[in-house]
């Protein structure tokens, strides 16, 4: 097929699945040219789990959600980078905004992937294949990371096509190519088929997608259930939904602008500690990350929760509801410090701490009630100035003084929690 024919034929495939390549690792490596040829993973270490690994680390078997200790055994020469969730959220928001500048029909799946329906954009921007290449070029230029794009007529085929395009590629699957593209693949490759369902299918003798496609629906219904059987038969022929379900609220690590949702972060210390200054320093870092993500998402919350895990793995969670919803770092941190001190710890060593803000709602609908004598400009305005500087110069450009230098177990002087003068 000639190149012009490939572009024209892609008009039958208006659904795009765009997936960032090794998102967390790619973002973390943007300003580390010294590590471009080095196996790297984000998160993990000896006591955590891997969030993302670059492709050099993946070649050694390192995968997301793998315990860090196992990842280091598989790849002892890997460099382990700490996650910066505020930066990840900022990049994710920018990528999603790029998608919405192409089409309003964007279905965010997670921080680093989304489905797009570009049928309404082809008149101005060209064929779906041309749009896919434009998106890849723009994201590479603006965010300095790569993505892979699947182009198809249905959601499930586009999802699988993007997987086959990785890394940094485009894969178009035309309607008349679906059977050839799908039927030789393992049943576990189908969109939405997890490990348990895959094992169940294999036990029933369904090893490939073609096995499902060639089996009558009534047989699958008897074997697999009233809903699952017909659903998998539809997926096996690539005949699932063509509609992209637009979501206008941003998605960050599974959190949308939903009153019942929350945002949080937690961290495991390199070694258990009973040092209050060390613990509060880490809580400030987590609070800064969480509230930064909240401001990027345009949400605020009233309930602040603290989680601590002791050296014997006993875990406690305590929460406090504020007088009004906030996204201000210092206001949330003041509540976290109060919750920590209310535990009355007397030398108990902590293994893990976490911060969470619950009951999130759109920030635009919340109005701060000023107290008589209170300055009009406070922590919220200071936070937004910091966010603006971070977007322009990077997250390391401005941060609380107590977070400069030192390791995870370094004692520091903690900042005040009252409003700034």
Cis status of the peptide bond prior to 212, with omega within 30 of 0:
no
Measure Cα distances from 80 to 59, 83, 222, 288, 301 in Å: 16, 10, 48, 22, 32
The helix/strand/coil state of 66 is: coil
Measure Cα distances from 249 to 87, 106, 380 in Å: 19, 10, 22
| Residue 167 phi, psi dihedral angles, 5° rounding | -90, 150
Based on DSSP, count helices (H) and strands (E) in the chain, helices before strands: 16, 13
Strand pairing class (79-81; 40-43)? parallel
Maximum Cα–Cα distance across the chain: 75
Which tokens sit at 187?
Answer: 């049943």
Q: How far is 92 from 27, CA to CA, in rounded Å?
A: 10
Cα 409 to chain center, whole Å?
27
- Helix then strand then coil, % of the chain, to nearest 5: 40, 20, 35
Q: How far is 77 from 85, CA to CA, in rounded Å?
A: 25
To the question of whether residue 176 is assigned a binding role by annotation, the answer is no
374 counts as catalytic: no
The helix/strand/coil state of 309 is: strand
The set of residues, in sequence order, having a beta carbon less than 8 Å from that of 342 and lying 6+ positions away, is 318
Q: What angle do CA 15, 17, 20 make, to 5 degrees?
A: 160
Q: What is the chain's Cα-based Rg?
A: 24
Smallest CA-to-CA distance from 99 within 20, 7, 10 is with: 20
> Is there a contact between 125 and 118 (Cβ–Cβ < 8 Å)?
yes
To the question of whether residue 19 is assigned a binding role by annotation, the answer is yes
Smallest CA-to-CA distance from 359 within 304, 287, 307 is with: 304
Question: Exposure string (b/e) for 206-232, b if CB count within 10 Å is 16 or more?
Answer: bebbbbbbebeeeebeebbeeebbebb
> Is there a contact between 80 and 44 (Cβ–Cβ < 8 Å)?
yes
Please tell me which residue in 8, 97, 107, 113 is annotated as part of the active site: 113
Residue ranges of the binding site for Mg(2+): 19, 112
Annotated binding site: 19, 112
Active site residues: 113
């Amino acid at each position: 097929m000639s190149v012009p024919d490939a572009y024209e034929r892609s008009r039958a495939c208006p659904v795009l699945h765009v997936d960032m390549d090794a998102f967390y690792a790619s973002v973390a490596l943007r300003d580390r040219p010294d590590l471009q040829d080095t196996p790297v993973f984000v998160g993990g270490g000896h006591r955590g789990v891997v969030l993302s690994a670059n492709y050099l680390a993946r070649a050694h078997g390192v995968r997301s959600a793998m315990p860090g200790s196992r990842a280091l055994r598989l790849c002892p020469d890997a460099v382990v980078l700490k996650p910066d969730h505020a930066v990840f959220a900022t990049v994710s928001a920018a990528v999603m905004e790029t998608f919405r500048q192409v089409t309003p029909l964007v279905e965010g799946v997670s921080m680093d992937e989304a489905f797009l329906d570009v049928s309404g954009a082809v008149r101005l921007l060209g064929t779906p294949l041309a749009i896919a290449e434009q998106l890849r070029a723009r994201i590479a230029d603006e965010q300095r990371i790569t993505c892979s794009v699947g182009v198809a007529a249905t959601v499930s085929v586009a999802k699988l096509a993007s997987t086959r395009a990785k890394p940094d590629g485009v894969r178009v699957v035309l309607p008349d190519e679906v059977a050839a593209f799908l039927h030789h693949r393992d049943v576990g490759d189908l969109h939405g088929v997890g490990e348990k369902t895959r094992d169940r299918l294999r036990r029933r003798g369904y090893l490939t997608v073609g096995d499902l496609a060639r089996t009558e629906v009534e047989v699958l219904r008897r074997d697999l259930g009233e809903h699952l059987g017909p659903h998998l038969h539809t997926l096996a022929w690539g005949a699932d939904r063509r509609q992209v379900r637009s979501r206008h609220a941003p998605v960050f690590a599974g959190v949308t602008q939903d009153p019942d949702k929350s945002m949080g972060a937690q961290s495991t210390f390199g070694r258990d500690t009973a040092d209050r200054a060390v613990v509060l320093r880490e809580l400030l870092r987590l609070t800064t990350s969480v509230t930064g993500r909240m401001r990027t998402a345009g949400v605020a919350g009233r309930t602040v929760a603290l989680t601590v895990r002791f050296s014997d793995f006993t875990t406690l969670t305590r929460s406090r509801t504020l007088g009004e919803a906030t996204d201000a770092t210092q206001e949330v941190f003041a509540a976290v410090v109060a919750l920590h001190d209310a535990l009355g710890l007397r030398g108990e060593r902590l293994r893990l701490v976490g911060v969470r803000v619950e009951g999130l709602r759109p920030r635009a609908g919340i109005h701060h009630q000023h107290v008589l004598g209170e300055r009009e400009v406070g922590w919220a305005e200071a936070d937004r100035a910091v966010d603006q500087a971070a977007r322009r110069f990077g997250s390391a450009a401005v941060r609380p003084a107590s977070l400069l230098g030192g390791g995870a177990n370094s004692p520091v002087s903690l900042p005040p929690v009252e409003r700034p003068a």
